[in-house]
């Protein structure tokens, strides 16, 4: 799940100052769960836009804004309204925004900041566990990712900031390397402490990322 | 080879201290402080210490060499990726810098450029390994160098950090990757130092003990609250509180730590925070 937060009203106000009429787009997937781009938020944003003297010429909730072809198709059904708008305001993650910006000529604006790939603890509570780094080390670190959970992404053990079991960057958080160490001890294995882990191969984290199932020869 | 490495190889007790490069390009004040540290075997030059931007320690290291000092160039993984680090290391070799202290580095959150991107492309273990590779004429990508640098490669350790078993696991990795000496965080308890040094002795690696001048109780409390891996025990806090002259008591405590270093370690790294004039007193037998 992509976790995102809404941009502040002040920032939106500045962003929209030259636009009178807007077409509003939400997303039925992650943005709905994060409460940044579901029905409630699209409705609230519409009200706010109207209160601030703007016209909302139309709105829609895409099923999954990150689906490029489907989003383009859904949007084509509202072609007339989109034509009428000065700009489109999208309340979805940055991936969703780009599905839209690639299929219309009009200015496409985003109303949210995308944060991370998140696990859900409970409603409204999200935790980052994986950075999608392309070279997974979880098998050696007792299922705890240091790339994501260590503030410095260290691969060979804790830094000198370990204090009373806490992270120097956030003393509310337990040091990830302490957790890895304790779980490995419980499992009675050395795991990642058995070797000096090589410098990470960042070429595996392609930017921009591209992956096609049928062309993926590595898995064979 | 550097004077530091020679002395350690000959099992002589060594003394080091540190200076920070200026926030600016005038090295006058840094050189004046270095002058107070003339008797040290080598002087650490910190690398954007506390994540605060300052002059390049490589530049100041060369200035120190020109003035007849022997620097220990500190290099952290916070601000440079592996290409920049290796490139600076080759530059260091060209400028006559041999001693290195290879560190992870404080997080930018603590510094004066809080919004900068933390790099940490390498961690300290990988940096140590990279230096070891360079001294064998190969870069991290496996390419041969046209000339092979010589380094005396040091790393940091906090013997008083808990759990010590975890600290030792990383300590062992650093040694396996080519660390030739350690400079430690301050330790105030004999028992902690004793158990740590048993391991260091087994692994046959010299440790230069961090000795920190406690100026007063306030400073000791600050260290306990804010500096990871440093623990001033209750009895010392009490001594500082009850002393008529806390600074003199601090000097006395530092003397005791130097004595511990002479018993267990191969040298001392003095952290005197503006009281460099007290160093002769701290080192007096």
Of B106, B123, B229, the CB nearest to A156: B123
Q: Are strands B14-19 and B99-103 parallel, antiparallel or unpaired?
A: unpaired
Suggest the residue from A157, A166, A172, A191 to mutate for an interface test with chain B (most B CBs closer than 10 A).
Answer: A157
Would the pLDDT of A220 be above 60? no
Report yes or no: A97 and A108 within 8 Å, Cβ to Cβ.
yes
Q: A6 with A109, same domain? A: yes
B125 touches chain A (CB under 8 A): yes
A135/A209: higher pLDDT: A135
Q: A109 with A175, same domain? A: no
* pLDDT, mean of residues B224-252: 95
Q: A8 with A94, same domain? A: yes
B159 touches chain A (CB under 8 A): no
Q: How far is A140 from chain B (nearest CA, A)?
A: 15
Q: Are strands A2-6 and A112-122 parallel, antiparallel or unpaired?
A: antiparallel
Suggest the residue from A154, A173, A181 to mutate for an interface test with chain B (most B CBs closer than 10 A).
Answer: A154
The structural architecture, per CATH, of the domain B3-157 is Alpha-Beta Barrel (3.20)
B111 touches chain A (CB under 8 A): no
Q: A9 with A86, same domain? A: yes
What's the pLDDT at A205? 81
Q: Do A163 and B123 touch (CB under 8 A)?
A: no
What's the pLDDT at A171? 85
Work out the angle at residue B75's Cα, subtended by the Cα atoms of residues B71 and B78, and round it to the nearest 5 degrees.
Answer: 155
Residue A206 lies in a domain: no
Q: A61 with A27, same domain? A: yes
B140 touches chain A (CB under 8 A): yes
Could you give the CA distance from residue B117 to residue B110 in angstroms, rounded to a whole number? 13
Q: Which residue has the tokens 């949210």?
A: A112
pLDDT classification of B177: cutoffs 50, 70, 90:
very high
Query: Average pLDDT over chain A, rounded to whole?
Result: 94
Q: How far is B184 from chain A (nearest CA, A)?
A: 10
Q: Which run of H or E residues covers position A117? A: strand A112-122
Residue A168 lies in a domain: yes
Q: A140 with A109, same domain? A: no
How confident is the model over B8-61, as pLDDT tens digits?
Answer: 999 999 999 999 999 999 999 999 999 999 999 999 999 999 999 999 999 999
Q: Do A152 and B185 touch (CB under 8 A)?
A: no
Would the pLDDT of A219 be above 90? no
- Sheet with strand A112-122: strands edge to edge: A2-6, A112-122, A125-128
Residue A216 lies in a domain: no
What's the pLDDT at A49? 97
Token output for B45: 């030059």
**Domain end point (choices A91, A116, A141):** A116
Q: A57 with A140, same domain? A: no
Give the CATH number of the domain where residue A16 resides: 3.40.50.1860
Q: Which residue has the tokens 């496409």?
A: A108
Q: Residue A152: its chain B contacts at CB < 8 A? A: 77-78, 104-105, 107, 118, 120, 123
How confident is the model over B88-145, as pLDDT tens digits?
Answer: 999 999 999 999 999 999 999 989 999 999 999 999 999 999 999 999 999 999 999 9
Q: Do B162 and A164 touch (CB under 8 A)?
A: yes
A156 touches chain B (CB under 8 A): yes
Q: Residue A193: its chain B contacts at CB < 8 A? A: 169, 173
Task: List phi, psi (to 5°) of B244.
Answer: -70, -40
Which residues is B210 bridged to in the sheet? B186, B269
Maximum alpha-carbon separation in chain A: 66
Q: A97 with A195, same domain? A: no
Q: A141 with A197, same domain? A: yes
Q: A22 with A96, same domain? A: yes
Angular region, B162: left φ>0, alpha ψ -120 to 50, beta rest: beta
Domain containing A159 equals: 133-201
How confident is the model over A151-161, as pLDDT tens digits?
Answer: 999 999 999 98
B280 touches chain A (CB under 8 A): no
Residue A166 lies in a domain: yes
Residue A214 lies in a domain: no
* pLDDT, mean of residues B236-259: 97
In chain A, how many domains are there? 2
**Domain end point (choices A116, A144, A168):** A116
What's the pLDDT at A215? 65
What's the pLDDT at A163? 82
Count Cα atoms within 13 angstroms, Cβ side, for A178: 17
Q: Do A163 and B118 touch (CB under 8 A)?
A: no
Cis peptide preceding A208, ω within 30 of 0? yes
Suggest the residue from B50, B83, B107 to mutate for an interface test with chain A (most A CBs closer than 10 A).
Answer: B107
pLDDT classification of A211: cutoffs 50, 70, 90:
confident
Q: Which residue of A has its CA nearest to B122?
A: A199
Residue A208 lies in a domain: no
Q: A112 with A173, same domain? A: no
Task: List phi, psi (to 5°) of A186.
Answer: -60, -35
* pLDDT, mean of residues B253-270: 97
Q: How far is B285 from chain A (nearest CA, A)?
A: 31
A157 touches chain B (CB under 8 A): yes
Q: A78 with A137, same domain? A: no
Per domain, the residue ranges of chain B are 3-157
């Amino acid at each position: 799940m992509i976790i995102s937060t809404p941009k502040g009203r002040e920032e939106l106000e500045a962003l929209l100052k030259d636009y009178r009429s807007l077409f509003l787009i939400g997303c039925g997937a992650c943005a709905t769960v994060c409460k940044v781009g579901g029905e409630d938020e699209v409705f609230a944003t519409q009200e706010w836009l109207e209160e601030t003297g703007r016209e909302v010429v139309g709105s829609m909730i895409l099923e999954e804004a990150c689906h490029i072809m489907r989003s383009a198709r859904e949007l084509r059904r509202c072609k007339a309204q989109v034509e009428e708008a000065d700009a489109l305001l999208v309340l979805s993650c940055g991936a969703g925004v780009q599905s839209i910006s690639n299929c219309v000529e009009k200015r496409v604006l985003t109303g949210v900041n995308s944060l991370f790939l998140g696990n859900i603890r409970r409603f409204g509570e999200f935790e980052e566990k994986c950075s999608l780094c392309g070279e997974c080390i979880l098998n050696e670190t007792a299922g705890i990712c240091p790339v994501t959970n260590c503030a410095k992404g260290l691969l060979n053990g804790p830094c000198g900031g370990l204090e009373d079991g806490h992270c120097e960057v956030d003393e509310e958080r337990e040091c990830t390397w302490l957790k890895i160490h304790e779980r490995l001890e419980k499992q009675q294995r050395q795991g990642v402490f058995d070797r000096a882990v090589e410098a990470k191969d960042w070429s595996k984290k392609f930017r921009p990322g591209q992956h096609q199932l049928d062309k993926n020869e590595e898995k064979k | 080879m550097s004077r530091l490495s020679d002395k350690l190889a000959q099992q002589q007790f060594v003394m080091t201290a540190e200076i920070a490069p200026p926030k600016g390009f005038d090295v006058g004040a840094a050189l004046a402080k270095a002058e107070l540290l003339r008797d040290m075997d080598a002087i650490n030059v910190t690398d954007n210490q506390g994540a605060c931007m300052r002059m390049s320690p490589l530049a100041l290291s060369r200035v120190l060499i020109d003035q007849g000092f022997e620097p220990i160039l500190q290099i952290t993984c916070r601000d440079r990726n592996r290409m920049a680090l290796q490139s600076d290391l080759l530059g260091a070799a060209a400028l006559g810098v041999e001693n290195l202290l290879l560190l992870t580095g404080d997080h930018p959150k603590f510094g004066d450029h809080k919004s900068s991107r933390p790099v940490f492309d390498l961690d300290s273990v990988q940096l140590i390994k990279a230096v070891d590779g360079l001294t064998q004429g190969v870069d991290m990508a496996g390419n041969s160098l046209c000339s092979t640098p010589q380094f005396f490669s040091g790393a940091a350790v906090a013997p008083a950090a808990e759990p010590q078993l975890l600290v030792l696991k990383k300590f062992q990795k650093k040694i396996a990757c080519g660390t030739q000496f350690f400079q430690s965080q301050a330790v105030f308890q004999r028992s902690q130092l004793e158990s740590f040094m048993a391991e260091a002795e087994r692994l046959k690696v010299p440790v230069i003990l961090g000795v920190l001048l406690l100026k007063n109780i306030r400073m000791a409390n600050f260290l306990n609250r804010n500096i990871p891996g440093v623990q001033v025990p209750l009895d010392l806090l009490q001594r500082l509180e009850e002393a008529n002259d806390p600074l003199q008591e601090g000097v006395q405590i530092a003397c005791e730590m130097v004595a511990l270093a002479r018993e267990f370690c191969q040298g001392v790294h003095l952290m005197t925070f503006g009281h460099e004039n007290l160093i002769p007193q701290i080192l007096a037998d």
